[in-house]
Structure 1
């Protein structure tokens, strides 16, 4: 494993692992698929737990789903707090935040929210993000767009290029994303009250009038979505984990 990321300020985390991942096809949900001898979830947790300032990690699973064998160090396993998730991602994150508040997290404490299906988070990227953990409007890992980006139109059953977008202002959001516990809870609660589904936590913060900082991420911090992504994640992990 990589060297531990040091940070003196106390922090907390939510790892969202309650989704079904239907684009993976038949078989277990993507976060439970095997990757180099462990579930994908284990790699995602272990990468985040390198930040030793994190006191507890709310591991949000679907109700009734048993916590899989994760083979974590004893100290890391003791930092996990198993939580039942909700119907949507934002509901699951709110469940995790509520559990952390009950475990002693303060309203202004930073909370890292990470996807269970991002197993290749590096210590360097996490360190860059941790520098901004105290920012009142939050921060997230993201990558600037490098490809030419098209907006699609629809004609009959086919899509066509309707417009080329200015990629100079476009970024691809990743996780972890970090926000003060109270602020994020209020933003997600407001979105839910308005029946607005956010695709990530930063979007809920944007709707609430905040401007989270963009912190350069890495291509290796991919999100497992299709079976092909598992092969790529395996390759990335080979570069940093002894065989």
Structure 2
């Protein structure tokens, strides 16, 4: 029997780096960004329910698409001041709406600002969490990293053991319940769920992430997200096309990337190749 999962969507942030735009309600293809996130999550067959942790204003403005393969139930909870406050609020709402005394169900925590999360990645995290207890997606760090002090470089950081964490991050319900009740959950600020689990000495498995799983953080990210979602939302189209160019002076004739010496070339803005 495949594992079942419930999702907490963290969508209570202030969009501080968006220049006054509420990124979660920013329109992409006629729908709010957050609606795309929910659509992606609902498409995963393992997902049974979703708790969206957000403001009352966003809840009123949100319109999410219908017709997804999953019938995952969506409920709302009021967000907290910080991310970990919102996760706690979402978990408490989940405990009320989908009781799981044994704690075998998988809980996913996902950023509301990641609208292009692939369904395959969601399923991979659910499966890894069911097997290992906790799992997160990571991608390699491609940039050279520097440790700095003020306006000076102190040293170059070895990136061979570093990775960038994405969401959804998965954890078995019983483990997250214990972590949120632990003294560590009240100490400091953790910026993702794996950070809390690490503090509680709960092992976290890693799964390869996906470069398309973009987190919208600054205004330029909206255009990138729109491009990703336009490709995902558009059906593949096939047809018959044609191309034509007049003959021009000189040679060779280029067809399909091959040069044919002794034949007049075709005139065009590039190479005049008429083979599609």
Deviation for aligned residue 1:40? 0.8
TM-score (norm 2): 0.78
CA RMSD of aligned residues (A): 2.0
Distance 1:201 1:78 in 2: 22
Deviation for aligned residue 1:85? 1.5
Pick from 197, 211, 215 the counterpart of residue 223 of structure 1: 215
| Corresponding residue number in structure 2 for 1:188 | 180
| Corresponding residue number in structure 2 for 1:73 | 67
**Structure 2: gaps of 5 or more residues:** 236-276
Q: Is residue 149 of structure 2 the alignment partner of residue 153 of structure 1?
A: yes
Q: How does 1:207-218 map to 2 (within 5 A)?
A: 207-218=199-210
SS of the residue 1:80 aligns to = strand
CA 1:226–1:88 in 2, change beyond 3 Å: closer, same or farther? same
Instruction: Tell me, yes or no, if the aligned pair for 1:12 and 1:54 is still in contact at 8 Å.
Output: yes
TM-score (norm 1): 0.88
Instruction: Tell me, yes or no, if the aligned pair for 2:137 and 2:169 is still in contact at 8 Å.
Output: yes
Deviation for aligned residue 1:185? 3.0
Q: How does 1:159-170 map to 2 (within 5 A)?
A: 159-170=151-162
Displaced runs of 4+ in structure 1, greater than 4 A?
74-78
Distance 1:160 1:189 in 2: 42
Q: CA offsets, 1:128-156, max 9 Å, x none? A: 222202145400111011221111211xx
| Corresponding residue number in structure 2 for 1:3 | none
Q: CA offsets, 1:27-70, max 9 Å, x none? A: 3x211111121111011111111122222100111245434112
CA 1:64–1:146 in 2, change beyond 3 Å: closer, same or farther? closer
| Corresponding residue number in structure 2 for 1:39 | 32
CA 1:136–1:129 in 2, change beyond 3 Å: closer, same or farther? closer
Pick from 58, 78, 81 the counterpart of residue 84 of structure 1: 78
Distance 1:35 1:160 in 2: 40
Pick from 25, 36, 43 the counterpart of residue 50 of structure 1: 43
Distance 2:185 2:125 in 1: 27
| Corresponding residue number in structure 1 for 2:111 | 115
Instruction: Tell me, yes or no, if the aligned pair for 1:138 and 1:179 is still in contact at 8 Å.
Output: yes
Q: Is residue 117 of structure 2 the alignment partner of residue 124 of structure 1?
A: no
Q: Is residue 8 of structure 2 the alignment partner of residue 14 of structure 1?
A: yes
Q: Is residue 139 of structure 2 the alignment partner of residue 143 of structure 1?
A: yes
**Structure 1: gaps of 5 or more residues:** 1-6
Deviation for aligned residue 1:216? 0.6
Q: CA offsets, 1:86-137, max 9 Å, x none? A: 1111111111111111122422311011100001111222232222021454
| Corresponding residue number in structure 1 for 2:251 | none
SS of the residue 1:117 aligns to = coil
